Amino acid sequence: MMLSNRDIAQIFCNIADMLEIQGENKFKFLSYRRAGETLAELPRSLQAYVDDGTLEDIPGVGKAIGEKIRELLATGKLDFYEQLRAQVPETLLDIMRVNGVGAKKAKLFWEQLGITTLAELEAAARDGKLRALAGMGEKSEQKLLTAIAALAQHGDTRMPIGKAKPIVERILAHLLTLEGVQEGALAGSLRRGRATIGDGDILIASDAPAPIMHAFVTMDGVARVLAHGDTKSSIEHVSGLQVDLRVLPRAHWGTALQYFTGSKAHNVKLRQLALERGYSLNESALSPVGADKAMLPDAPKHTFDSEEALYHFLGLAWIPPELREDEGEIEQARAHTLPKLITRADIQGDLHMHTTWSDGKLSLREMVAEAHQRGHRYIVITDHSQSATIANGLSVERLLAQQAQVRQLNAAYGDSFHVLHGAEVDIKADGTLDYPDEVLAQLDFVVASLHVALTQSRAQITQRLLNALQNPHVDLIGHPSARYINERPPVDADWDAVFAMAQRTGTALEINSNPRRLDLDAPYARRAAALGIPLAINTDAHDAHMLDLMDYGVITARRGWVTAEHVINARSFERFMAWLAARQPAV
């Protein structure tokens, strides 16, 4: 069986950790780690890149890593990896999952005490065998035991953004009420809008950090204090999320916010650009280096109170945080050709939502009123189709009865707000749709989605999606990969074939805003947009609060370099209806 992108990505991440344990050159193990992170999110199979000769065009994939990918695809294994596994116990990687235990400590425990498993580490800590090691002590042992317990309770899986972001935003809101706080912001992967979060980062500008740090480590919701310093503190929230706070002078705000937003790959490229101009760049300032510093030893450092000023000094347009992954954004910022990314304000309608007619929590009238209150110009009611019995799917008779009520509601709102009638139609296991064509033809808008038989073979899953795309009544493929983040993997489909058919038929693909889904994911959305495939950003709301999840879909779209012109529900009602009327798939 051919290894998947994620299988190969995990191998490269394991290689990175093993090389770090061995004390290998930093740039070497970081190159494997970056390759692993990149491969896990590719919108095509690695074999497709090999076949069309573009493997080495993938960011972070050079000749050496490219050769290893080819070996893995051809043989299912990698000699280099097998040699590493013979040298470094793979169970040490489990030890590195413990908060506060990096490669150096894992190596210390292994070489000094022969500890290679998490169970052995816990036993040694309980028996007081770690405290005599360099850099350890009785308090370190207790912290380690607490961290092991936290790992057992919460795991080390990255937290979905929909769970992490509200937690960190509440903490930031609390800190912003404190005396002496001049400014505050989220940073790190939260600010970049990644689908999952390792830890939460907060920056605060203030000249009096001590009381802010005290308030941070003593606030409600703190399970334990991981570190408490003068300018940086870390806590573990009761949810299991680590949150880090840094307090800095206002004059350093621009450089600090840029630095701690990341990503690492983006920052490395930015530092290279600074060096070309004779400066070193860190979280505080730009400082002269080399000949410039020798000639002007007292030359002042450049500090920036805004990110815009820092990027401008380096000859770049400001780069939106969602793009900072070293995927061409710096080159486009230098050429001032960055796209104008979609914003929440661009969204005019929501094309996917459910009511009590199927598995929603609000009645039809209540859901329409909630959507209207949020400023939408139009919506589509898309309850589940008849095969979705667990979701109280609508029979044809119930569907048509619902349509009559939708028409009445639409008329009641007049021309300022429009309610369309549609359905979320199952793409059944045999590849057919859950309503016959004569029923689909009576709907204003049809969403076709995968809900069942998600573990079918690649050929079967792909054919089901192709069938739906070729149906002239299907307007949108809902949550195309059917993934649940950290819960259910995406379906195994030939995305090259799926995208080619969507491009051919003009059928839209969804970016589902539910933070459990965020599907299409950003790399897939970017590829779809580049191919000219229409996109729709929808909430898939089942109750009122889910209508407010649209921001997560917009963030995902922005990470995919998506503009408003790519998104059909960012159009006025008239333009949206014109798109529906004009779309005549060439099948």
- The Cα–Cα gap between 427 and 448 comes to 6
b or e along 83-104 (b: 16 or more beta carbons within 10 Å of the residue's beta carbon)?
ebeeebbebbbbbbbbbebebe
Biggest distance spanned by C-alpha atoms of the chain: 84
Q: How many CB atoms lie within 10 A of CB 320?
A: 18
Q: Which residues contact 87 (CB under 8 A, 6 or more apart)?
A: 18, 22
Read off the DSSP letter of residue 414. Answer: G
Phi, psi angles (nearest 5°) of residue 474: -85, 125
- 8 Å CB contact between 440 and 473: yes
Closest CA to 260 of 317, 196, 184, 332: 184
- DSSP string of 315-376, one letter each residue: T-----GGG-SSSSHHHHHHHT----B--GGG--EE--B--TTTT-SS-HHHHHHHHHHTT-
- The Cα–Cα gap between 362 and 379 comes to 15
Interaxial angle between packed helices 209-218 and 161-175, expressed in degrees from 0 to 180 and rounded to the nearest 10: 130
Residue 134's pLDDT is 87
- 8 Å CB contact between 109 and 121: yes
Note down pLDDT in tens along the chain; length 587 residues: 578 888 999 999 999 999 999 998 888 888 999 899 889 888 888 999 999 999 999 988 999 999 999 999 999 999 999 999 999 999 999 999 888 888 999 999 999 999 999 999 999 999 999 988 888 988 888 888 888 887 887 776 689 999 999 999 999 999 999 999 999 999 999 999 999 998 999 999 999 999 999 999 999 999 889 999 999 999 999 888 999 999 999 999 999 999 999 999 999 999 999 999 999 999 999 999 864 444 445 567 899 989 999 999 999 999 999 999 999 999 999 999 999 999 999 999 999 999 999 999 999 999 999 999 999 999 999 999 999 889 999 999 999 999 999 999 999 999 999 999 999 999 999 999 999 999 999 999 999 999 999 999 999 999 999 999 999 999 999 999 999 998 899 999 999 999 999 999 999 999 999 999 999 999 999 999 999 999 999 999 999 999 999 999 999 999 999 999 999 999 999 999 999 998 754 44
- The Cα–Cα gap between 156 and 522 comes to 23
Q: Where are the beta strands (DSSP E) in 210-275?
A: 222-228, 232-237, 242-248
- The Cα–Cα gap between 331 and 448 comes to 38
Closest CA to 520 of 444, 443, 465, 579: 465
- The Cα–Cα gap between 560 and 573 comes to 25
Closest CA to 383 of 412, 422, 440: 422
Give the angle subtended at the CA of 133 by the CAs of 129 and 135, to the nearest 5°. 130
Residue 361's pLDDT is 96
- The Cα–Cα gap between 367 and 350 comes to 12
- Tell me the three state secondary structure of residue 250: helix
Q: For tokens 């701690």, name the residue.
A: 260
Strand 508-512 relative to strand 535-538, pairing: parallel
**Cα dihedral across residues 29, 34, 36, 37: positive or negative:** positive
Q: Which residues contact 220 (CB under 8 A, 6 or more apart)?
A: none
Could you tell me the domains of the chain? 5-154 (1.10.150.110), 159-248 (3.30.460.10), 255-335 (3.30.210.10), 344-582 (3.20.20.140)
pLDDT in tens, 511-522: 999 999 999 999
Residue 338's pLDDT is 98
Q: How many CB atoms lie within 10 A of CB 119?
A: 12
Tokens of 54: 């573009």
- Tell me the three state secondary structure of residue 242: strand
- The Cα–Cα gap between 106 and 102 comes to 6
Q: Which residues contact 305 (CB under 8 A, 6 or more apart)?
A: 250, 251, 253, 254
Which value, in Å, is the radius of gyration of the alpha carbons in the chain? Answer: 26
Q: How many residues does the chain have?
A: 587
Q: Which residues contact 111 (CB under 8 A, 6 or more apart)?
A: none
- 8 Å CB contact between 517 and 489: no
- The terminus-to-terminus CA distance of the chain in angstroms comes to 33
